[in-house]
Structure 1
Amino acid sequence: MKVRIGQGATTEEARAIAAALAEHLDETVEVVVDDGEEVLASADPPEREYPLDDDLGPTGRENRLREELADIYEGGPEKYRERLSEQGKLFVRDRLELWFGDLTFEDGRFANFDSWHPDAPDIEEADPDIRLPADGLLTGAAEFEGRDVHFMANDFTVKAGSMARRGVEKFLRMQQRALKSGKPVLYLMDSSGGRIDEQTGFFANREGIGKYYYNHSMLSGRVPQICVLYGPCIAGAAYTPVFADFTVMVEGMSAMAIASPRMVEMVTGEAISMEELGGPAVHARHSGSADLVARDEEHARELVAQLVTYLPDHAGEKPPRAEPTPPKYSPDGIDELIPESPNRPYDVHDLLDRVVDAESVLELRPDYGPEIVTALTRIDGRPVGVVANQPTQRSGAIFPDSASKAAEFIWTCDAYEIPLLYLCDTPGFMAGSAVEKEGILEEGKKFIYATSSATVPKQTVVVRKAYGAGIYAMGGPAYDPESVLGLPSGEVAIMGPEAAINAVYRNKLDAIDDDEERARREAELREEYRRDIAVHRMASEVVVDDVVPPSDLRAELAARFAFYEDVEKSLPEKKHGTVL
């Protein structure tokens, strides 16, 4: 604003007037003389430092609230907290400190406050053995490895982390907010299940504990759900880890089962320990419910920190790229690694070490269905899901559990836009009465269905043998891959040479009396058959797109994944398939 003064004022007086008015009016002031336009002095309002000191501060009311919060942060009864260290476990708030440092915010800290806290209006004298801070469940938001996430964490010091009405409400709200926000969810589980003595009002209600699994289903494929188990999760609590996209168990403390050992013995008469019933070994090797097994709490966090680097925040978003790194070993050694004979084993991990970025392999379910390796990796910094037959395990034949593992892995990669690489070296699906009883056809169709339905970029490499329906499940030419490449060691056939000769020529060979003549003729037939199924023949007939020098395989795959990064695919218009 402009202020006019008389002609008798000095310059110093004009400056003083400008400064005083600028401070008082909090705006720029210009001082001019009488009716003139020449500015004699000007001043800007002083810069203020906020907040301004007005002598007000927290009252006793706020201080009491902070004392109540500090009490809540102590968790359940002290005797239960003391037992955690004996079990090698962290108190839940220390666990959150390990994972996140400071939380972004926490919801429902005062859940169930009125039922136990001495400051609650309806309590005359609190029982120190009955503490229900936050109703035994912590929920909120935090930053994890630079990513915003929702979290939930059970407090095992509050009635063994059991779930009741208020905690259920918090859990459901967290899930529903994740649906809207499109941010990942971390479940840090240590729960004995539903609180049986308080089940009224949360068990079968529309918005009760059963809604957990409805919400899990809605979140599935929408945002990554990652669950880490820190204790025995029983009954309803055991469904959260199996609904999650990825489940991590911790050695020496984790377990999950549909019922406790005591209940199992009561129902079936079987006496069994929690470890034998549902420990990490059971779910890593036999059920396939554990994707990863950690040594301790710190290792569990490290595994999840590695895992999230391959995942987007939500469906429809590309997974994050990393800085490209060379492979662990030179691709020049690939051809020497692959044996000439289709029956001689080699470890497919050694092949991965020459194809993918160094130190980028995160194998999931390594001990379950080991005939197939499923791993998150990177090629030239780009996340890629690898499905690879493992010749060291029963020649890489596909069994029911390995088919199931592969199908679920493909389905998850497709949900989160992670391209797929199939490394095919299999005699096909296993035959026999045992695998028929185990559902080889049922699990095999799921494997083929997942490959058929995946719309992410897919590349297939015929490394060596691709026999029978194995080439179908492993992304063969009929399954809409962007490319099918062959190495010079590759073969594609209905069955291998030995089986084919036995099926077609056995009677003629048995009619030859001379052993040497029969052996010579059998060798000739075998070589003729192998020429017919060799990858060069397949390339000549344009069954495969190209035969690639093994030393060039990594560069070829990197170029093709980059080229097809934004490929558009669609599925027939329908509600959904009926296979899974």
Structure 2
Amino acid sequence: MTTSGDWQETLDELDRRRRHAYGMGGPERLAKHRDKGKLDARARIDHLLDKGTFREFGTLVGGDIAADGIVAGSGLIDGRPVMVGAEDFTTLAGSIGPGGNAKRYRLAELALRDRVPLIMLLEGAGFRPSGEHYGRTPTDLLSQTQCSGKVPMVAGLLGPSAGHGALVAPVCDWTIMSAQGAIFTAGPPVVKESTGEDVTKEELGGPDVALTSGVIHNYAETDEAVLDDIRRYLSYFPSSAWSYPESLPEDDAAQPRPTPELLDIVPRTNRRVYDMRAVLDVVFDDRGWFEIQPRFGPAIICALAHLGGHPVAVVANQPLSLAGSIDADAADKAAHFVMVADSFHLPIVFLADNPGMLPGSRSERAGVLRSGARMFAAQTAATTIKLHVTLRKAYGFGSMVMSLLGFDNQSATFAYPGATMGAMSASALSKASHADEDLEAKLRQMEVDASFRSAGHLGFDELIHPEETRNVLLWALQRALYSRQAAPEPVARTVITP
């Protein structure tokens, strides 16, 4: 391309400034960063997005500080637009300056304006120490919060993230951390100065801490694996709350089929445990499913899956953990997951098999009733399609939080024959009432007959054979999808509570 002589000097200056920004922290810092097995900020974006689709803005922000420590722009994932920001740890430890703060605000502003997902790749030291006052510094978090429930928001933790920058993660709908990730209010030096405690960044907020506390949802070993999982997570979601999730083209993986395997997987007796994950493997499409937050509140499984090619959210009790009893962590996890699914119009499939909320002094000290109420409020307020199956049992409040409740706006409710339900199990009621042997036997027989009595007065829509599980859910979902006869809108709430 021929350039007019009048332009050459100016364009050379533009090129020089761009090259400085593209160079990030310089060859030595980049080499040190890569020697740790990490991708740099620009390489992370390149891996995340469809090849050649990244379009940067704010390249020259920061002047001598390359891109002011954050690379920002738009691109495509599976052909759909997203906004993405990646903190550059090689440039002043990815710290936030005035220009970087403005770019972060602009990312969220454009995500909401254009109704596309927002992705933040975090590895930074928080606000940059400076003698100047940055003005209204938290504006990026304000704009991010305004996105909540309107566009999907995802954060990847790919190194240490502290202070203000770390707050980006819990405000997002979903977060994932690499082996080298860490997240904390303040880093080890500040902790030492403030409290006298000697602690490493791993002990303060590494994966073992952040995943078990519930601050971070998922884990992947490497940068590349984290970025691949971000792409996978977003594949289940629409671009915004103004659109519905896209169904996959029909293929063999999405066809109706019986599920006789469930007769071997699900024991008839309530006294035996089994792995609910095996049920998900059989019921949902052969493409596999994606579990959310597996290391927090394991008594409930939250997962994204496809049913007949349609993206769905799954909330299932896990008998392998606490015999399926719902503790505070499990309820908190499920409440947040239900709110996210509802916000983006994913149908929710509830698979119930629990003896109720977890009793005991330790559970009460953890606030199990408060957390259970939070889960109940989330699911009963959900306006999306809801489908329910009780496999063996669902007692008391444990049935209500799992959407087994009349007049609760479900599209379909099913139960297996012999499923037991009520205020409490026969065993617990016998002990509580000091029943004699004859009465205890009668209580147990009444428990066995409960599903048939309930079916007799339409306590749920139908008793089903376990072999029918996938097909009745698929047919109910296909019918329920006809309710989408108006343009989707965001759910009427302020934000998704972290």
Question: The TM-score by the shorter chain falls in which range?
Answer: over 0.9
Moved more, 95-104 or 347-356: 95-104
Residue 527 in structure 1 maps to residue 459 in structure 2? no
The one of 285, 288, 291 equivalent to 2:214 is: 288
- CA offsets, 1:250-307, max 9 Å, x none? 01x101001112222333332221111111121212x212221111111112111111
State the Cα distance separating 1:168 from its structure 2 match: 0.7
SS of the residue corresponding to residue 557 of structure 1 reads helix
Moved more, 157-166 or 136-145: 136-145
Q: 1:300 aligns with which of 204, 217, 226?
A: 226
- In structure 2, the CA distance between the partners of 1:576 and 1:181, relative to structure 1 (3 Å rule), is closer
Give the whole-Å Cα distance in 1 for the aligned partners of 2:496 and 2:284: 35
**Aligned CA distance change for structure 1 residues 561 and 328 (closer, same or farther; 3 Å):** closer
Question: Alpha carbons of 1:177 and 1:201: their partners in 2 closer, same or farther (altered >3 Å)?
Answer: farther
In structure 2, the gaps of 5 or more residues are none
* 8 Å contact from structure 2 (residues 256, 470) kept in 1: no
Aligned: 1:75 with 2:24: yes
Tell me the residue number matched to 2:480: 564
Separation (CA, whole Å) in 2 of partners of 1:284 and 1:443:
18
Find the structure with the greater CA-based Rg: 1
Deviation at 1:575, TM superposition (A): 7.7
> Offset at 1:56?
5.5
- In the TM superposition, what whole-angstrom CA distance separates every residue of 1:407-455 from its partner, at most 9, and x where no partner exists? 0000000000000000000001111221111111111110000011000
The code of the aligned residue for 1:501 comes to S
Shift of 1:566: 3.8
- Describe the superposition over 1:515-569 as per-residue Cα deviations: whole angstroms up to 9, x where unpaired: xxx4xx3662343332442x11110121111011111111111111110114379
**Matches of 1:246 and 1:398, distance apart in 2:** 22
Q: Percent identity?
A: 28
Bigger RCO of structures 1 and 2 (CA < 8 A, at least 6 apart): 2
Structure 1 residue aligned with 2:417: 488
What is the match of residue 452 of structure 2? 536
1:185–1:105 CA distance, 2 compared to 1 (3 A): same
Superposed CA offset, 1:446-471 (max 9, x none): 00000110000101101111111111
Partners of 2:256 and 2:172 in 1: how far apart? 32
Contact 1:107 / 1:140 at 8 angstroms: preserved in 2? yes
Structure 1 unpaired stretches of 5+: 1-52, 117-131, 510-517
How many pairs does the alignment contain?
490
The answer to whether the aligner puts 1:429 opposite 2:357 as a matched pair is: yes
CA distance in 1, matches of 2:113, 2:369: 39
CA deviation after TM superposition for structure 1 residue 79, in Å: 2.9
> Match for 1:309 among 201, 222, 235?
235
| Paired residue type of 2:470 | R
One-letter identity of the residue aligned with 2:97? A
SS of 2:424's equivalent?
coil
Cα RMSD of the aligned pairs, angstroms, is 2.5
Query: Which string of whole-angstrom CA distances, capped at 9 and with x for unpartnered residues, describes residues 131-150 of structure 1?
Result: x1111111111112211111
CA contact (8 A) 2:285 2:306 kept: yes
Matches of 1:179 and 1:290 in 2, distance apart?
23
Q: Note if contact 2:102-2:140 (Cα within 8 Å) is conserved in structure 1.
A: no
The answer for the alignment partner of 1:420 in structure 2 is 348
Q: Which residue of 1 aligns with 2:112?
A: 179
Q: CA offset at residue 344 of structure 1? A: 0.9
Q: Distance in 2 between matches of 1:424 and 1:55?
A: 69
The alignment partner of 1:354 has SS state of helix
1:137-536 matched pairs, under 5 angstroms: 137-197=70-130, 200-202=132-134, 205-206=135-136, 208=137, 210-251=138-179, 253-285=180-212, 287-324=213-250, 325-326=253-254, 331-478=259-406, 479-504=408-433, 506=434, 509=436, 518=437, 521=438, 524-533=441-450, 535-536=451-452
- Asked whether the 8 Å contact 1:229–1:255 carries over to 2, the reply is yes
Q: TM-score, normalised by structure 1?
A: 0.80
